[in-house]
Structures are given as C-alpha cells and as structure tokens.
Amino acid sequence: MEGYSRVKLLGEGSFGRVFLMREKKPGGRLVCVKQIHRVHQPKKQAFAPSGREKSSGVEVDLMKKLRHPNLIRLLKSFAGPSPLRQQHIVMEYCSGGDLRNYLKAAASGKQPLCLGEDKIWYWFVQLALGLHHMHQQRVLHRDLKTANIFLSNAGYLVLGDLGIARKLASGDAAATVIGTPLYMAPEVLEGKEYSFSSDVWALGCVLYELCTGKPHYSTTAEQDLPW
C-alpha cells in the first residue's frame, strides 16, 4: 500500500483485516490500518460494497466528528487501487493492545485479577469521559467491551471500533439487536427500543471486569444469560 510498509497482521474477521503499518517517511510513525473487504458480484458489477464497507463510511464520518483524548483517533481514510478499491481506515496505533488481552496477561490464570482501586477509578473515569463525549454528540457505540478498549502509548484508555455505532436524532431510539451478548443490556437482548443507557450498562460490565478480572457472567450464549 503506497505510503505505508506492512509490519504485521493484527487481526482478521469477516469484515476484513487490521494491520500494523509504518509510514514510509523519515521518522514515520506506526499506525493501525483497517482494510475492509469487498464482495465480488460478477453478474451485477465487478465489485460491490459489502455491508461492512457501507458501515465503514459511517464509521469514518463519526470518527471525523468525535475528537476526544479517550476516543481512538482517525488519521485518514482512502480507497485502495483498482479493481478492488478496498476502503482503508488509518488510525492511531495503541501499543498497549486491547484491555481484554491486558487483563488476561496480567492475571495469573488461577486467581481472578484484582487491580488496585486507584487504577480502576483512573481507567473507569477515562472511559466514562470518552463515552460521555460520544453521547453528547448523540452517538451510540453499541459494542462497548474490553476487546474494543485500547491502551494508548501514553498509558491511558481509549474507546475504539465504531463499526456498528449509530448517531441518533433527538428523541430517536435504536431497535436492532446488535453487539456482543455478554455486554448487551436486557432491553437490547429482548428486541426492545434502546438508547444511550445501553452503553452505560456495557460500561458497567467493563467495570466489573476491571474489579474482578473476569466477565460478569460465564456464558456468551444469549439464551443462557439471566435477563
């Protein structure tokens, strides 16, 4: 990819791949690049945008408007070369990795991790500030979890992955059952309308993990959750 040299693959899923890359210039910084897959549809057109690619346009628009120290920072976005013209989202690289892996690495594996109260509050306030800024801009995250929280190079936490985030109009509510079941509020799982309080529920689930080193419930299956 012009302007960047690939360092390693960070992750891969149905939506595409995420790479660690370095800018091709003197003193070039490390960046995180999300590459969105396109779907091949020969009977209609050579390459049509996938659902995830369409949502990536929303993700980029939201990231441009959301500027806060505790939210992942967008650096640029662009389409790759023909014929694929895959969408690329270039973001700041958080060298500390995600909070889920941090908690796993810090735990002994035999006993639940218990962070000091001061650090728990320090991190929780950062997350609350980032989420508050999103909600002030009427943006619903919808997938707040430890895997989408990152440790910045400076040692503070930032919220990331706005792939399924949604901006709500005044008085509007969401209704799509979407996200990660373990962090979904009861009203989301029940298919009812929901709003910003569902993000606050998820934030409470993250706080529980910070305090105990493990999720608040042991199952990931929706039907086994107690609400």
Position 50 scores a pLDDT of: 44
Chain center to CA of 22: 21
Catalytic annotation on 143?
yes
What contacts 148, CB < 8 A, 6 or more positions away? 98, 159, 160, 161
Residue with tokens 């650096």: 75
Q: What is the mean pLDDT of residues 57-67?
A: 91
Position 66 scores a pLDDT of: 96
DSSP category for residue 71: B
| Contact present, 112 and 175 (Cβ < 8 Å) | no
Of the listed 98, 118, 143, 224, which one is catalytic?
A: 143
Which phi and psi angles does 10 have, rounded to 5°?
-95, -30
The pair of structure tokens assigned to 132 is 């508050």
* Model pLDDT for residues 177-196, shown as the tens digit of each residue: 999 999 999 999 999 999 99
Which phi and psi angles does 150 have, rounded to 5°?
-125, 150
Lowest-pLDDT choice from 40-44, 84-88, 165-169: 40-44
Which residues partner with 139 through β-bridges? 167
Q: What number does CATH give the domain 4-92? A: 3.30.200.20
Q: Where in the chain is the domain with CATH 3.30.200.20?
A: 4-92
What's the CATH number of domain 97-212, 3.40.50.300, 1.10.510.10, 3.20.20.190, 1.20.1630.10?
Answer: 1.10.510.10
Q: Where in the chain is the domain with CATH 1.10.510.10?
A: 97-212
CA nearest to 104, candidates 225, 183, 213, 207: 213
pTM for the model stands at 0.84
